Amino acid sequence: MNAANQRVLGRFRDYLKVEKGLAALTVASYQSDLIQFAEFLERRRKELLQARREDVRAFLSRLFAHAVKDRSVARKLSALRHFYKYLLLDRMIQHDPTLDIESPRQWKVLPKALAGSEIDSMLEAVKTAKDSALAAAIAQRDHAMLELLYAAGVRVSELINVKLEDLKLELGHVLVRGKGDKERLVPLGRAAQNSIRAYIADGRQALLQGKISPILFVKRGGGRLSRQRVWMMVRAASASGRHASPHTLRHSCATHMVGNGADLRTVQTILGHADISTTQIYTHVALDRLRTVYREYHPRAKRK
């Protein structure tokens, strides 16, 4: 840890001991958490007095990524709040970077988006030749489900309840019933449309075994698929790479759309978020893309 950070932490330690009268064990706990944050900042070439809100968020996100429990993250955030409140009162900083940082209990830790190549690998994994007509029908169904999960960003509960009458393949969309039984129209790409058409023409008939069902994706005998069965299928399809879930595909759909320039309102409509604030978790993707484009095209971006 550099000298500047050591001096600031030393003053804060004395403040806790002398003015606050805290026990040595409590002071040591504060120091440990703050040292960890200081080292995190130094890797970003910043000092404690230079921290901004995005640095605090990045630090907490890193803790979550390393499976640190909510209670521990909350304690570290509390230490940072006390520290920066002290610096603000002592007029060592002008802005508190911990302001408006949500409690870890309110955070939603989303899975990382898959790369396009990883999704292609999953789709290929369920297309491999099968040794029976039934196995081939299941593979055709699973391929269509993967295409729909990624193309439309639907939740697994929405996927298993899609009906044949909800499909409008000639118009390129599907009617989805989301939370609170709210309906929304979601566009489908050409790959998803073709895969679903092929499944309806062949695989679905083989699975129905002469029975009738209004549900699009059926199990053997025409019954409704369970959420667990879809989760198992997605996990098996991703076995050769990073393990994925249906929600990973939903997250990947939104991430790739924003990364390619889609506005948040469009993504909100497709995902069925009631509040735009839920969709705003994807703004970091848009910001990363803006920075990349700026550095590449602005004539003064690379000047020192």
Model confidence pLDDT, tens digit, residues 11-46? 999 999 887 788 888 889 899 999 999 999 999 999
291 is catalytic: no
Give residue 109's pLDDT. Answer: 54
The reply to whether the predicted model has a pTM over 0.75 is no
> Which one from 76, 143, 155, 204 is the annotated catalytic residue?
155
Q: How far is residue 169 from each of residues 145, 175, 189, 191, 269, measured CA to CA in Å?
A: 15, 11, 10, 11, 19
> Is the pLDDT confidence value at 52 over 90?
yes
> Which one from 76, 82, 250, 251 is the annotated catalytic residue?
250
CATH 1.10.150.130 residue window(s) in the chain: 3-106
11 is catalytic: no
273 is catalytic: yes
Q: What pLDDT, in 10s, does the model give residues 206-263?
A: 999 999 999 999 999 999 999 999 999 999 999 888 889 999 999 999 989 988 888 8
250 is catalytic: yes
* Coil, strand or helix at 243: coil
CATH 1.10.443.10 residue window(s) in the chain: 116-290
Which listed CATH number (3.40.50.1370, 2.170.150.20, 3.40.50.300, 1.10.443.10) goes with 116-290?
1.10.443.10
Look at residues 54, 68, 65 and name the one whose alpha carbon lies nearest to residue 99.
54
Are the C-beta atoms of residues 56 and 38 closer than 8 Å to each other? no
Pairwise CA distance, residues 58 & 261, whole Å: 23
Say which CATH class 3-106 falls into. mainly alpha
Q: What pLDDT, in 10s, does the model give residues 162-175?
A: 999 999 999 999 99
> Which one from 7, 52, 163, 179 is the annotated catalytic residue?
179
Pairwise CA distance, residues 133 & 131, whole Å: 7
> Which one from 81, 173, 247, 289 is the annotated catalytic residue?
247
179 is catalytic: yes
- Here the tokens at position 160 are 């298993």
Q: What pLDDT, in 10s, does the model give residues 71-127?
A: 888 889 989 999 999 999 989 999 999 988 876 655 555 557 898 999 999 999 998
CA atoms within 13 A on the CB side of 48: 29
Are the C-beta atoms of residues 49 and 38 closer than 8 Å to each other? no
**Which residues, in sequence order, are bridge partners of residue 175?**
185
7 is catalytic: no
Look at residues 242, 241, 250 and name the one whose alpha carbon lies nearest to residue 278.
250
The number of beta carbons lying within 10 Å of the beta carbon of residue 71 is 10
